[in-house]
Structure 1
Amino acid sequence: MHSSAPQRRSGLLRALAVATAALLCLIPWADTAAAHGSTIDPMSRNYSCWKRWGNDFQNPDMANQDPMCWQAWQDNPNAMWNWNGLYRDGVNNNHQAAIPDGQLCSGGLAEGGRYRSMDTVGAWEATNIASSSDFTVQVHDAALHGATYYQIYVTKQGFDPATQALKWSDLELVRTTGAYAPGEGTPSTEPQLGGVTVSIDASAPGRTGRHMVYTIWRAGHMDQTYYLCSDVIFG
């Protein structure tokens, strides 16, 4: 006929736990301690959105100023908070078998589709590359995984990332590195990064205009592979 004080307290605690869990999904860097790495120059799509809007991600002006990031934030904010967690385990170097055409930027809908908005076709914000061919990719290794190798691909001339979904046949492999030991690279001084940054020189002659740089990072500590899309403008 009446509820006890312990029952009321139990209900309140359950409600508080649910509210806290929901809030943690919207806190910047809430899960970065468990994250790993990404390309930071040219910036991967989700790192770029986090870098520009992480402190202002609910600003409605983003819809007009940066519509591709806007759709990404609306789809799943954790794709940006976890910008350094876009990877798949157990691929065993069979990248094209594991990642279907049209899903290259999400790592084949990695992490239950968390990063699916990275596959959305459109005019993403792009990094300008002054050269018509030579460039450097900087991969940030926050967890000091090292690498079995890095592979750098660039889209072929004539591909338009603003109107076309990325397929394996659109890419040209322009650089494959050797192994990197855990911790090898330049230590980062940026507080939100930590870890080290690896710089990889590459060349893609004959490119002009909009392109995509696609980086595959096979980690050195286990069969764990990162798939990273960066938008660039050559020349």
Structure 2
Amino acid sequence: MRHLTKSTRRSLRTLLMAFAAMLFMVPMSGTANAHGSVVDPASRNYGCWLRWGSDHLNPAMQQQDPMCWQAWQADPNAMWNWNGLYRNNVGGQHQAQIPNGQLCSGGHTEGGRYNALDTPGAWRTTAVNDNFTVRIEDQARHGADYLRIYVSKQGYNPVTEPLEWNDLDLITTTGSYPTTGVYSAQVNTSGYSGRHVVYTIWKASHMDQVYYLCSDVDFG
């Protein structure tokens, strides 16, 4: 470096400072940007992370949990960011903003990161009775203006059919929740049996931010 001219050294310093500034501008994924999800009955994204987050390279996943396998293969960052499936500036127009067949990905939110969640198939289910509780964990403590909880209609087959709005029965709409970080809603149903999708809309309170979450259940 001692043979370089002052002008060259000054240019190198400028380039190094610009490179360092760019590093700080790169967005980081993971829990630093944590939000939340339905943890019971587990959403597709949360369930895949819960079961395989510490063992996501295990080839046994392909046989034991094939729907999570295809989701991990499609975009591992989507599974690591299980708590980031939301849309901003929806304006309460859920059906207009989220097209049929894209409900579980929030309308191909985040540049399509979560698209694999829309794939029909034998997703792992949680056993429920006619009356069960939906529980959301909100790591960022955003609060909730409301929850809307739907159950797929009897006769809809999530193994073979993409989810559409007409496939859903609205069961519960709640009021607001304070920023406690855990929000629970009692769901009372009747007439359902077998495999279904529980679809939860969580409208956060801190801004116009909405989470769209699919949980696979099996009514006993």
TM (norm. structure 1) is 0.82
Q: What aligned pairs does 1:148-159 form with structure 2 within 5 A after superposition?
A: 148-159=145-156
Which residue of the other structure, out of 134, 137, 150, is the alignment partner of 2:134?
Answer: 137
| CA distance in 2 between partners of 1:204 and 1:149 (Å) | 19
The number of aligned residues is 203
| CA deviation after TM superposition for structure 1 residue 197, in Å | 1.7
The match for 1:103 is 102
| CA distance in 2 between partners of 1:138 and 1:113 (Å) | 26
| CA deviation after TM superposition for structure 1 residue 204, in Å | 2.0
The match for 1:173 is 170
| CA distance in 1 between partners of 2:36 and 2:218 (Å) | 23
The letter for the 2-side match of 1:123 is A
Which residue of the other structure, out of 200, 210, 215, is the alignment partner of 2:195?
Answer: 210
| CA deviation after TM superposition for structure 1 residue 181, in Å | 1.7
| CA deviation after TM superposition for structure 1 residue 233, in Å | 0.0
Residues 79-113 of structure 1, C-alpha deviations (whole Å, 9 max, x = no match):
11100100000001100000000000000000000
| CA distance in 2 between partners of 1:32 and 1:166 (Å) | 29
The match for 1:59 is 58
SS at match of 1:160: coil
The letter for the 2-side match of 1:99 is I
The match for 2:43 is 44
The match for 1:222 is 207
| CA deviation after TM superposition for structure 1 residue 35, in Å | 1.9
Q: Which has the larger displacement, 109-118 or 31-40?
A: 31-40
The letter for the 2-side match of 1:136 is T
SS at match of 1:104: coil
Which runs of structure 1 show a deviation greater than 4 angstroms over 4 or more consecutive aligned residues? none
The letter for the 2-side match of 1:197 is V
Q: What aligned pairs does 1:62-101 form with structure 2 within 5 A after superposition?
A: 62-101=61-100
The letter for the 1-side match of 2:168 is L
Gaps of at least 5 residues in structure 1 are 184-195
RMSD of aligned residue pairs (Cα, Å): 2.1
Identity in percent? 58
The match for 1:112 is 111
Which residue of the other structure, out of 185, 190, 197, is the alignment partner of 1:200?
Answer: 185
The match for 1:193 is none
Gaps of at least 5 residues in structure 2 are none
The match for 1:125 is 124
